[in-house]
Amino acid sequence: MSKSNETSGKPATENQFVTVHIGGQLFGLPIAAVHEVFVPEQVTRVPLAPPEVEGVLNLRGRIVTTIDLHRLLGLPAVSEGHKMAVGIEYKSESYGLLIDEVGEVLAIDAATREPCPPNLDPRWAEMVEGVHRISGELLLVLDVEAVLAGITTRLAA
């Protein structure tokens, strides 16, 4: 995404996040991790795949493995399918994180990040790096690497 012009000139202590909604919760993905945002179409299910893997799809000639964040976060599945996906690269492979809705790009002062509350669902705590309070809402910073590494380690176990 080429939105860097929006935030040019800001101090370096600010982190930029792409905000997304998953099951009503606001999450922020570090902008450097986000390659693109696309509408997933023609997703092919993969038999015997781990439950978090929704399927594979063709994104301009690349095969993208899509991950169902609802399932991963233990949220109820959405009935009418996912509307959007965030494309990320992990270990030089393409993945698509399925989400409900993409918000905007936010620059947040890194100093305002707070650690995860200790009573956070342990599954969430693995994937959430910290919390920002923004205008009456809580933004959870999603650690993309941890999300994907979690699936891989669970497979290995």
Partner 1 sequence: MDELLREFLTETNESLDVADAELVKFEREPNNANILNNIFRLVHTIKGTCGFIGLPRLATLAHAAETLMDKFRQGVPVTPEAVSLVLQTIDRIKEILAKLEASGGTEPEGSDADLIALLEAMANAETAEAAEPQVTVGELVPQVLERPLLPGEVPLDELERMFRETEVEIETPKPARGKGRKSTSTAAPDEPAARTQAPSAPAAAEPQKPAEPDAPKAAGNEASAAAAANNVSNQSIRVNLDVLENLMTMVSELVLTRNQLMEIARRQEDSDFKVSLQRLSTVTAELQEGVMRTRMQPIGHAWQKLPRIVRDLAQDLGKQIELEMAGADTELDRQVLDLIKDPLTHMVRNSADHGLESAAERRAAGKPEKGTIRLSAFHEGGHIIIEIADDGRGLNTDRIRAKAAEKNLASEAELAKMPDSQIHRFVFHAGFSTADKVTNVSGRGVGMDVVRSNIELIGGNVDVRSADGKGSTFVIKIPLTLAIVPALIVEVARERLAIPQLAVVELVRIQPGSEHRIERIKEAPVLRLRDKLLPVVHLGRLLGHASEQEESTVEDGFIAVMQVGNRTFGVIVDAVFHTEEIVVKPMSSMLRHIGMFSGSTILGDGTVIMIVDPNGVAQAAATTIESTASQAASETAALPGDAEAKVSMLVFRAGSQEPKAVPLSLVTRLEEFEVDKVELSGGRPILHYRGDLIPLVYADERMTPRAEGTQPMLIFSDNGHTMGLVVDEIVDFVEEPLNIELPCETPGMLGSAVLAGKATEVLDIAYFLSIAFGERLGKMEGHHAGRVLFVDANPFYRNMVQPMLRGAGYDVHACASQEEALSLLGSGLRFDMIMADIDQAGPDGRSFAEAVRDLPDIGDVTLMAVTGASLPSNSERSRMTGFDRCLGKLDRAGLIAALRECNTSYGEAA
**Binding residues vs partner 1 (CB under 8 A):** 42, 44-50, 53, 56-58, 60-63, 65, 91, 93-95, 148, 151-152, 155
120: left (phi over 0), alpha (psi -120 to 50) or beta: beta
1 vs 46, which CB is nearer to partner 1? 46
93 vs 121, which CB is nearer to partner 1? 93
Using alpha carbons, select from 5, 33, 38 the residue that is nearest to residue 147.
33
89 vs 109, which CB is nearer to partner 1? 89
Distance CA(73)–CA(16), nearest Å, equals 23
Here the tokens at position 141 are: 């910073």
- Taking the complex as a whole, how short is the minimal distance between the CB of residue 73 and partner 1, in angstroms? 17
- Taking the complex as a whole, how short is the minimal distance between the CB of residue 148 and partner 1, in angstroms? 8
- Taking the complex as a whole, how short is the minimal distance between the CB of residue 113 and partner 1, in angstroms? 29
147: left (phi over 0), alpha (psi -120 to 50) or beta: alpha
50 vs 115, which CB is nearer to partner 1? 50
